[in-house]
Amino acid sequence: AQTVTQSQPEMSVQEAETVTLSCTYDTSESDYYLFWYKQPPSRQMILVIRQEAYKQQNATENRFSVNFQKAAKSFSLKISDSQLGDAAMYFCAYSRLVSFTGTASKLTFGTGTRLQVTL
Amino acid sequence: DARVTQTPRHKVTEMGQEVTMRCQPILGHNTVFWYRQTMMQGLELLAYFRNRAPLDDSGMPKDRFSAEMPDATLATLKIQPSEPRDSAVYFCASSSVVDQETQYFGPGTRLLVL
């Protein structure tokens, strides 16, 4: 079974600074997807970024980027130029590769990291 | 702007009452998931459907929960009778044929059972 571990329950960053959230996972599969979801106080789960394991290039989305280390099974999220609106719970999630297999993916979530952004 | 929608957003009910939550997946998405989020258990997958057919509902308490997808634009989750331990946020998510791995979540239904 796959597991996802987020070892930082809480993090804090000053506005305009950079912060990195850590995530490690365990799987015996070679093809899979990894995601970061953001959950602000509104409770909405917002997809921030995703990474396909077969891609060596790290994914980026504006101020958000990942550091994907497949051998180490590590998938960290870097937020640059932090803004007050970035304050939220961040969940790391894993999915098997299932497209075109006739099955559906089950997301395995970590326990989350609460990010505070201070002035 | 394609989004998953859920109704109601908030529900307060008394123990023993029936609760029905509704979800409209993103148009064209063929897989729908129901999750429950609590402080103690985190995010739990309750059930999911592919092309309206249930694929897996092993995460759902069968005695009181039921999930259906009467058509491609509507999924429902019912709790009958509701209990205080069912208080949680219930999320619906959907994914598309060409990108099954990426799930897009609705805003959730916050349920409080008194």
Which tokens sit at B31? Answer: 């897989």
Q: What is the pLDDT of residue A106?
A: 82
d(CA B30, CA B107): 19
**A99 contacts in chain B (CB < 8 Å):** 98-101
pLDDT of amino acid A99: 64
Query: How long is chain B?
Result: 114
Which of B9, B103, B112 to mutate to test binding with chain A, by most A CBs within 10 Å of its CB?
Answer: B103
User: Which pair of structure tokens corresponds to residue A107?
Assistant: 């997301």
Q: What average pLDDT score do residues B48-62 get? A: 86
CB contact under 8 A, A47 and B33: no
User: Percentage of chain B with pLDDT > 70?
Assistant: 99
In order of A43, B19, B106, the CA distances from B89 in angstroms are: 8, 13, 11
* Tens-digit pLDDT string for chain A (119 aa): 789 999 999 999 999 999 999 999 999 988 899 999 999 999 999 999 999 999 989 999 999 999 999 999 999 999 999 999 999 999 999 998 776 666 667 899 999 999 999 99
Pinpoint the alpha helices (H) of B1-114.
none
Q: Burial of A101 by CB count in 10 Å (0-12 exposed, 13-18 middle, 19+ buried)?
A: exposed
Tens digits of residue pLDDT in B12-25? 999 999 999 999 99
Segments of chain A assigned E as strands: 3-5, 10-14, 19-21, 24-26, 32-39, 46-52, 60-61, 64-69, 74-79, 88-96, 108-109, 113-118
pLDDT digits (tens, 9 = 90+) for B74-97: 999 999 999 999 999 999 999 988
How far is A119 from chain B, CA to nearest CA, in Å? 28
Indicate if the pLDDT at residue B66 is higher than 90. Answer: yes
Separation CA B71–CA A40 (nearest Å): 31
For residues A3-13, one letter each, b for 16 or more C-beta atoms within 10 angstroms of the residue's C-beta and e for the rest, the string is ebebeeeebeb
Q: Indicate whether B1 pLDDT > 70.
A: no
Partner residue opposite A107 with nearest CB, options B50, B89, B103: B103
Report the pLDDT value the prediction gives residue A65, as an integer from 0 to 100.
Answer: 97
Produce one character per residue of A41-72: b if its CB has 16 or more CB atoms within 10 Å, e if not. eebbbebbbbbebeeeeebeeeebbbbbeeee
Return d(Cα B25, Cα B45) in angstroms, integer.
Answer: 16
Q: What percent of chain B has pLDDT over 90?
A: 72
pLDDT score for A112 = 96
